[in-house]
Structure 1
């Protein structure tokens, strides 16, 4: 059984989340969402992060697994402090945004209210 580092659920979504869907990315936010980002975010319950997110871990969305290929410098601290994480489905080996993680380049699942998201050790 793999250790779960982070687990949450989507509780609400901004009005324009589909804008990022086309680009193969989504933005999670727990609390203190900047007004400029509000419409583009999926809102989650802020939960503790139990461990360090690393390349090779897996992102699980409603039962579908995606290999994490890169972790930005501040992705972990943003997730811990704000419940904020940007997930990019690019397969990149370097995170283009410091607050993002990249996962393998597979079609991005459609997140809905109640979607379960977790990060598990590789």
Structure 2
């Protein structure tokens, strides 16, 4: 059985967040993100990250499910403190940037306010 290590919901979608998503990036930030960043982010209610993000864990974004393939050096600290990570849908096995989490799977066409974000140990 999988353990849920993180759970929240999308509260707001920035004006340009869907464009970044179409380019293969989903930028998450907790409620209270700086205004200049919020336009590019999916803003979410922030929960406690019960365990560090790791390769092999599973992320649920609404009805979409992804396997984590790489975690950047500062992704865990950023996510714990700011609710901020960038998710790339390219399946890379090495993180391009320190705050990036790479996952394997199709880029979601659209996410909605109210969609759940859930991370599980597999």
Q: Gaps spanning 5+ residues in structure 1: where?
A: none
C-alpha distance after superposition, 1:23-46 (max 9, x if no partner): 111111114523331210111011
TM-superposed deviation, 1:105: 3.9
2:27 is aligned to 27
Instruction: Give the aligned CA root-mean-square deviation in angstroms.
Output: 1.4
Task: Describe the shift of the 1:10–1:88 C-alpha distance in structure 2 as closer, same or farther (beyond 3 A).
Answer: same
Q: Are the aligned partners of 2:28 and 2:43 in contact in 1 as well (CA < 8 Å)?
A: yes
Stretches of 4+ moved more than 3 A in 1?
none
1:61–1:109 CA contact under 8 A, matched in 2: no
TM-score by length of 2: 0.92
Matched positions, count: 122
- The Cα of 1:11 is off from its aligned counterpart by 0.4
CA offsets 1:51-96 (integer angstroms, 9 cap, x no match): 1211011111123211100001111111110111111101001111
Kindly report which structure 2 residues correspond to 1:36-55, keeping only aligned pairs within 5 A, or say none: 36-55=36-55
Separation (CA, whole Å) in 1 of partners of 2:2 and 2:24: 27
| 1:70–1:49 distance in 2 versus 1, CA, 3 Å | same
Rounded to whole Å, the distance in 1 between the matches of 2:96 and 2:62 is 25
